[in-house]
A and B are shown apart, each in its own frame.
Chain A
Amino acid sequence: MNVPSMLKVQRLTKTYPTAAGPLTVLHEVAFDLAAGATLAIVGPSGSGKTTLLGLCAGLDRPSTGEVILAGESIGALSEDARALVRNRHVGFVFQNFQLIPTLTALENVLVPVELRGEGGAAAEAEARGLLARVGLGERCDHYPVQLSGGEQQRVALARAFMNRPKILFCDEPTGNLDGDTAHAMVELIFGLNREKQTTLVLVTHDLELAARCQRVIRLRSGAVVSDEKTVVTEGTER
């Protein structure tokens, strides 16, 4: 059976103007990711990983090239139209959690659906369920500042799944966490991803984490140096 494409990137280039002339941080990157697949983007600092993630998620516009997300070319869309695409199809997990400090854990999780005007009792029950799923059922009314780093990242994960995204973008999701917490977080990401049948794009330095994805793209100086399918280790993906 032919699996449809969830994310298609074609000849993607990003250049920034600087005082010393244009600076190309991403050069002619191309790949195609099937729905439900998992992809890790790895590379040293400054290789363009985060820029690529931002472009794929529609957070920025490419200088040239095209990004087709869930069948929709997002490069030409206005910022507000891209926001709509993100709200419909995309979930995010950031390295520094990015919870809204003035909202409780529950309210943070509810934001994506409330933005669509779909709040209410059912949404709240679902959000509570997600928080329970990440082990924070008792912490719904806590503010980010009252939570540890690992707990904040779990709230962020619950929020990322709240709008039932087709694709989840994670930017160094364990970068700010200690070993045990990071391990638990990874299990949650892959577990939820499998449960919700979401496509996963993960930016990381951690090669062990990258190895858990079905495919790994290596970047160096803004260009793809390798694009490999991995053999997912038995037992690691439960």
Chain B
Amino acid sequence: MSFILKMAWRDSRASRRRLVLFSFSVVLGIAALVAIGSLGANLERAIDDQAKGLLGADLVLSGRAPLSDAAQRQVAAVGGERAAEISFSSMMSFPAAKDLTRLVNVRAVEGRFPFYGDFVTVPADAPARLRAGGNVVIVEETLLRQFDTPVGGTVRLGATTFTVVGALQKYPGESSALSATIAPRALIPQAALAATGLAERNVLIRHRTMLRLPAGTEPWLVERELRAALRGEGVGFETVAERRRNLGRALENVENFLGLVGFIALFLGAIGVASAIHVYVRQKIATVAVLRCLGASARQSFAVYLVQGLAIGLIGAALGALLGLGVAFAMPRLLADVLPFQVDFFVSWPAVARGMGAGLVISLLFTLLPLLAVRRVSPLVALRSAAADEGSGRDPWRIAIGVFIAVAVAGFAIWQTGKVRDGLGFAAVLAAGFGILALVAKFTAWAARRWLPRGWPYVVRQGIANLHRPNNRTVLLLLSLGLGTFLILTLLLTRSTLLKEIEFSGGGGRPNLLLFDIQDDQVEGLVQTLTAAGAPLLVQAPIVTMKIATVKGRPVEELIRRTRAAGEGRDAEKGRRGDTVKETDAKKGPAGDRLPGWTLRREYRSTYRAALTNTERLVSGKFTGEVAPGEAVIPISIEEGLFKEMGLALGDEMEWDVQGVLLRTRIGSVRAVEWRRLEPNFFVVFPLGVLEPAPKFHVAAVRADDSAHSARVQRAVVAAYPNVTAIDLALVLETVDGIFSKVALVIGLMSAFTVVTGLIVLAGAVLTGRFQRLRETVLLRTLGATRRQLLQIQVVEYAILGALAAVVGGGLALAGNALLAHFVFRITPAVPGLLLAASIVAVSLVTVLTGLLTSRGVTNHPPLEVLRQET
């Protein structure tokens, strides 16, 4: 053992800097894993520490309708303290900003909520002034800033002008940044709501009752009792435990996703280490042969280099852990706005151990592959170097380690995603990318040997010949560069696909401003207002809210109970196995007895019309546009996705509860709907002649020429019809972009880890190549080659490798983006030609530049010095 350690140390003398450079390849991957793991642990602890503040109450009841008197009595009987909130979306106009309007989330509150957690405003006494009542409002701080409205200024909601008494900075359990981006909040006293005239005409109102239970009362017990007592009232319940679980689950998903991105960086780095070790081992063959001559066993020689490989992994893991902890330390500060609670940094040793462990295992496995060659070095090489190439036959250990790597990668991916299918899918995509690149590389080397035209200039021939000559790095460089290009480009392409999709949805004369909450008696007037504002109505649809009562004769309550029972059964089983409970909703066999909960519980907003619209396509059945009055079973049209989720068939019967009236229907047709357009689309479409008398509201869509026009239209509409709410495409884009910019920091950081890893791998590969090529470059110089010729040879080689890697990586990224777009986002993939071309040029240039930079000095090395060297 002491010989092995001693020899490993002594042998590394001339190459320690190089070995440390090899270890840099895995540093960023390990750092990413440690950072993400630590952040996850920090978040988990923060959630635990601030659990009550996440909900602001012990128990929250919510529903679309106010609690009935009976329900009120039941809740009052629980005791403790109560607060209530009515929330809905509405347009707020800002007199300080020329009456510009903005969609806000109005919260009409009553009582001392929140009972727990921080409610931070400027000035701090704003909550007390809100509770004191009157026409006062606390508005999201960013919104006030955006519309130049100071505290003390006024805003208008519906028919009422409110005085701003505070700027909202923090509300328990909600992320300031995301709330401000998606739906900025405006808190008013509940007593002031009626005068606005907004509540009675708004069908998307949400009522919440917040409870602070008497000391010693178990929230889940109260929840169970109230659930039983309020069955059929359409009331949802949330406890602190539940909020914590949901939040934990959401964060876990994010953590898992980022973990995969981090793993890609590690994987790429490991390939880098493997390729560097491959070259390193080749340079050590003579030393190994001498050791073998002097009596070292295969195991001893192998162990000497394994120790060095382990050291590389350990150095990488230690540096990675340090860097990862640094990033984890900074992250809570960077994400302070996005997270709904405060996160304090602490070192999570299990996360550090997991990140380092994964890094060490992966880098060691990848190191083993090239190291295996050491075992097969013949001592005869000491006598005759040609014997180095005589080792033949398949090495079963190589195959075993290859299999082990595949299992480790798939295992890690499954562990990260928590789903076998997703994990295997991720591993399969990586393997496919790997395989294709390896094939292209082999083909390139073969083609370079076979089809090299003799008439081409010497430097070009020499550069191309470098692709196939012994000790070429074609396969290794194409793998590391190509895979890096593939991963980075996939991230970029996915982003542009998502953004392009949103832009497209409003392009080409399509509607880009959606108006809803329009009442029956407002339709005519609104059409005139819109026409006068230069934005004639393009689409208009009536909406009737309804719920499912029965499916194929089975009451919805029974189906929900079955679903919940199935979910709980699985949860209990998962709990016994110690797994994390990830999904409680049943997955969704077409058997019909375990339907997805959301399909049963949701409030459907359905429409009626005579024909399909241009965003719909008939998939099966016959669309019925109108029925005669008194038809017993109404033929309806259902959206394809919902149809599949619920495992329905044409002709199946469903009964709908249309605001108290039961309506028997059967599925007459199935439609494919293009959801991505900013137009009113529906799960369920009824024929004319049925829903007309039902209480309803309308949605309308128009097209504004630009953002100024859109603001003018909205101002005109809100002035005439304060209850009408508008969403314009610019707002959607702004929202998505806002979310992107908030999370871009984290995703960008992870992508940067991958990009920089790719560059380190490239530099490492070129540097190892430098040692390999030094001797032959010197020989060429000795034979009279000029520096210029030597440079040209290198440029040709690196340019071909860079361009090939970029083209193949780009092709793979296009395929990956198309697959993601099709299967995950269900949209059309974007093919940004400019981005692709720029990436290909950039990768080629970076390859040539890195190649030339890292091989600088090779061409002006004194030939004698190199010719005298042993290595």
What is the chain A residue whose CB lies nearest that of B12? Answer: A102
- Is the beta-carbon distance between A87 and B294 smaller than 8 angstroms? yes
A119 to B3, CA, bound (A): 8
A145 to B12, CA, bound (A): 16
Q: How many residues on B have C-beta within 8 angstroms of the other chain's C-beta atoms?
A: 34
A215 to B289, CA, bound (A): 29
A80 to B868, CA, bound (A): 33
In the bound complex, residues from chain B placing their C-beta under 8 Å from that of A98 are 286, 289-290, 293, 382
- Is the beta-carbon distance between A94 and B383 smaller than 8 angstroms? yes
On whether A99 and B378 interact (CB within 8 A), knowing A112-B294, A115-B3, A115-B294, the answer reads: no
A144 to B122, CA, bound (A): 76
In the bound complex, residues from chain B placing their C-beta under 8 Å from that of A112 are 294-295
What is the chain B residue whose CB lies nearest that of A85? Answer: B295
Distance in Å from the Cβ of A205 to the closest Cβ of chain B?
15
- Is the beta-carbon distance between A80 and B294 smaller than 8 angstroms? no
- Is the beta-carbon distance between A88 and B382 smaller than 8 angstroms? no
Interface residues of A in 17-67 (CB under 8 A from B): 50, 53-54, 57, 59-60
A57 to B292, CA, bound (A): 12
- Is the beta-carbon distance between A92 and B382 smaller than 8 angstroms? yes
- Is the beta-carbon distance between B293 and A114 smaller than 8 angstroms? no
Q: Specify the main secondary structure of chain B where it touches its partner.
A: helix
A102 to B294, CA, bound (A): 16
In the bound complex, residues from chain A placing their C-beta under 8 Å from that of B3 are 114-115, 117, 119
Interface readout for A105-131 with B: 1 if CB under 8 Å, 0 if not? 001000110111101000000000000
- Is the beta-carbon distance between A80 and B299 smaller than 8 angstroms? yes
Distance in Å from the Cβ of B210 to the closest Cβ of chain A?
72
A88 to B298, CA, bound (A): 16
Q: Considering residues A54, A112, A144, which has the most beta carbons from chain B within 10 angstroms of its beta carbon?
A: A54
Q: Does A100 contact B (CB under 8 A)?
A: yes
What is the chain B residue whose CB lies nearest that of A111? Answer: B294
Distance in Å from the Cβ of B818 to the closest Cβ of chain A?
46
Number of A-B contacts defined by CB within 8 Å: 97
Q: Does A154 contact B (CB under 8 A)?
A: no
A102 to B283, CA, bound (A): 12
- Is the beta-carbon distance between A53 and B383 smaller than 8 angstroms? yes
From B2, B300, B380, B868, contact of A60 by CB (8 A): B380
Q: Does A79 contact B (CB under 8 A)?
A: yes
Q: Does A151 contact B (CB under 8 A)?
A: no
- Is the beta-carbon distance between A99 and B870 smaller than 8 angstroms? yes
What is the chain B residue whose CB lies nearest that of A91? Answer: B294
From B295, B384, B868, B869, contact of A87 by CB (8 A): B295
Interface residues of A in 75-95 (CB under 8 A from B): 79-80, 83-84, 86-88, 90, 92, 94
Q: Does A140 contact B (CB under 8 A)?
A: no
- Is the beta-carbon distance between A102 and B383 smaller than 8 angstroms? no
A94 to B292, CA, bound (A): 14
- Is the beta-carbon distance between B383 and A100 smaller than 8 angstroms? no
Distance in Å from the Cβ of B427 to the closest Cβ of chain A?
37
A50 to B381, CA, bound (A): 12
- Is the beta-carbon distance between B14 and A101 smaller than 8 angstroms? yes
Distance in Å from the Cβ of B146 to the closest Cβ of chain A?
66
Interface readout for B279-306 with A: 1 if CB under 8 Å, 0 if not? 0000000110111111111111000000
Q: Which residues of A contact B (CB under 8 A)?
A: 50, 53-54, 57, 59-60, 79-80, 83-84, 86-88, 90, 92, 94, 98-103, 107, 111-112, 114-117, 119, 144-145, 159, 163, 171
- Would you list 18 pairs from A and B whose C-beta atoms are within 8 A, ordered by A residue? A60-B378, A79-B292, A80-B297, A80-B299, A86-B294, A87-B296, A88-B295, A90-B295, A101-B869, A102-B11, A102-B13, A103-B10, A112-B294, A114-B6, A115-B296, A117-B2, A119-B2, A159-B294
